[in-house]
Amino acid sequence: MPHFIRTRRAQQCAILSSCLLLAACGGSSTLPSGTAGTTAGSMTLSHLTGVGDNYDPLVQQLYVSYFGRPADTGGLANFKSLLASAGGPSDIQNMDAAYTNDATVRALIDSFGNSAESNALYGGDTIAFVTAIYTNLLNRAPDPDGLRFWTNAIDGGTLTKARTSFSIMAGALANTTPQGMADAALVRNKVTVASNFTHAIPDPAIYAGDAAAMTARAMLRNVTSSTDPNAFQATVVETVNALANRTRPSVSEPPAQPDFSATLADAPPAPGWNFPNVPLTFAVTGAGLGNVELVSANDSTIIYGRFTISDDRKTASLTFYPIVSPLYGSYNLRILAWDSLPGGGGRMIEVMAPRTYSIRWSPGCYATNPNCGIPAP
């Protein structure tokens, strides 16, 4: 057997082993750096440059598409090294195309797509699954043609769910329609900001665990197609500092700031039926707002949505897309506000006491008729 074949097989085994660990552990309690065979505590910024640097954007694309957040330093360095050793594709188009015939590529992509963290972000039936990917990755609901194309591919067996998020990102980057170019600009900005975030981390220990992942994910939600990554760097630094301050031991807590308040300014009527293509939009006013979240009143689980906060931190809006949910029925929800960045601790106010909203979900209805027209029971 030629030496090259033995080396290639060893490289594939190394990647497959790392992928199995990533798929098994996901992001439920630790970030993939700890599961990918890298000791996060010994990682320094010098490890982020060198071997496999041309794979940096590709690894960030995997993390953004499947986890909605930047790569951690250990995961970035490890997967760059593994891909470089295996001689895998270094661009998203060839990586996506290689999925069918290259077992190493397929194992890597499947490990992200089948991970617990990705499954928590994208769930439900096929329509809800595709819609959640669009909402997280492209900051919008899918257009009817796009929804039909991807759901038919999945249900028809020509596309696996594990591959879908990466393929949607690859398609967005190659789409030359006006909407496609806007989507591509958004994806490029998210990947650039994600890379800037990873390289700004001074100590890998501050970016570990579910709370840190949620903080980074919330930061990327605020990136748009028109975002200037250079101007956004201030937000990156602020987010990294929030993570560092949360994990750094302190002998005394800083004095509370008096300028934090939050009240509900506007909310949809409840109870009442809301069709799946009609978002629930809430408005919050106050002072010193840093984060608002729509949560389950039953167990405080965060309900996926998007929030924006004004530059003066006095007003906030929070939008929940019912179509992301795979079911219909009653949702007992409340709104919480903090005076710090997501995941950064700080003071909390219950802005909206528990309210019950009723969501009408009709599989297939949205794809054929956005208005649905289903009568209330």
3-state secondary structure 244-281: HHHHCCCCCCCCCCCCCEEEEEECCCCCCEECCCCCEE
Residue 80 domain-assigned?
A: yes
Let me know whether 139 and 19 are in one domain. Answer: yes
Let me know whether 237 and 273 are in one domain. Answer: no
Let me know whether 12 and 108 are in one domain. Answer: yes
Single out the residue of 24, 20, 31 nearest to residue 74, CA to CA: 31
Q: Which residues of the chain have pLDDT under 70?
A: 1-52, 247-258, 271-278, 299-305, 321-329, 341-346, 359-377
Range of the domain at 339: 261-365
**pLDDT given for residue 111 in this prediction:** 87
- What domain count does the chain have? 2
CA distance linking residue 372 with residue 4, whole number of Å: 59
CA distance linking residue 349 with residue 353, whole number of Å: 10
Domain's final residue, options 244, 275, 307? 244
**pLDDT given for residue 161 in this prediction:** 93
Residue 373 domain-assigned?
A: no
Let me know whether 270 and 233 are in one domain. Answer: no
**pLDDT given for residue 343 in this prediction:** 53
- For residue 108, give both structure tokens: 């890597």
**pLDDT given for residue 286 in this prediction:** 92
Q: Whole-prediction pTM value? A: 0.58
Residue 375 domain-assigned?
A: no
Domain's final residue, options 203, 218, 244? 244
CATH code (residue 355):
2.60.40.1220
Let me know whether 144 and 196 are in one domain. Answer: yes
Let me know whether 187 and 41 are in one domain. Answer: yes
**pLDDT given for residue 156 in this prediction:** 94
Let me know whether 152 and 35 are in one domain. Answer: yes
**pLDDT given for residue 358 in this prediction:** 75
Residue 59 domain-assigned?
A: yes
Let me know whether 74 and 134 are in one domain. Answer: yes
Residue 189 domain-assigned?
A: yes
CA distance linking residue 336 with residue 347, whole number of Å: 10
Residue 286 domain-assigned?
A: yes
Residue 8 domain-assigned?
A: yes
Let me know whether 130 and 265 are in one domain. Answer: no
Domain's final residue, options 244, 269, 293? 244
Let me know whether 217 and 80 are in one domain. Answer: yes
Residue 334 domain-assigned?
A: yes
Strand pairing class (315-320; 329-338):
unpaired
Let me know whether 296 and 231 are in one domain. Answer: no
Let me know whether 193 and 58 are in one domain. Answer: yes
